[in-house]
Amino acid sequence: MTTEKIDSVSVTTKANVFFDGKCVSHAITFADGTKKSVGVILPATLTFNTGVPEIMECVAGFCEYKLDGSDTWVKSSAGEQFNVPGNSKFDIRVTEPYHYICHFG
């Protein structure tokens, strides 16, 4: 099921801009202190590093991703998600805008 709306959060209005604008996100914080980011990745192949475990939830579009240590690209479409271990990295390949929620921790 795709998350369409997130209520009762604090939003950081200044965007996080990565990879020369190919990835733009906003940080959101829930009342209990839980943090997530909501953003979009434009067509590109990028490598992200993680500090804590992450769940990447696809809200719209699709991507292909490859976890650290794997040679296999896996497709993730709207309504799907994938897990990335902490202190790791992953490659993501996008051919159309990929809208996502990144769940931290």
Q: Is residue 80 part of a domain?
A: yes
Both structure tokens of 102: 């990144």
The reported pLDDT for the residue numbered 105 is 80
Q: What is the pLDDT of residue 1?
A: 77
The predicted structure's pLDDT at residue 34: 94
What's the rounded Cα separation, in Å, for the pair 22 and 99? Answer: 12
Q: Exposed/middle/buried for 68, CB within 10 Å: 0-12, 13-18, 19+?
A: middle
> For the whole model, what pTM was predicted?
0.94
Residue 29 resides in a domain: yes
Residue 3 lies in a domain: no
Residue 4 lies in a domain: no
> What is the number of domains present in the chain?
1
Average pLDDT of each block of 10 consecutive residues along the chain (105 residues)?
Answer: 90 97 97 96 98 97 97 97 97 98 93
Asked if residue 53 lies in contact with residue 43, where contact means CB atoms within 8 angstroms, the answer is no
Domain of 35, in residue numbers: 12-104
Domain CATH code at residue 77: 2.60.120.10
Q: Is residue 6 part of a domain?
A: no
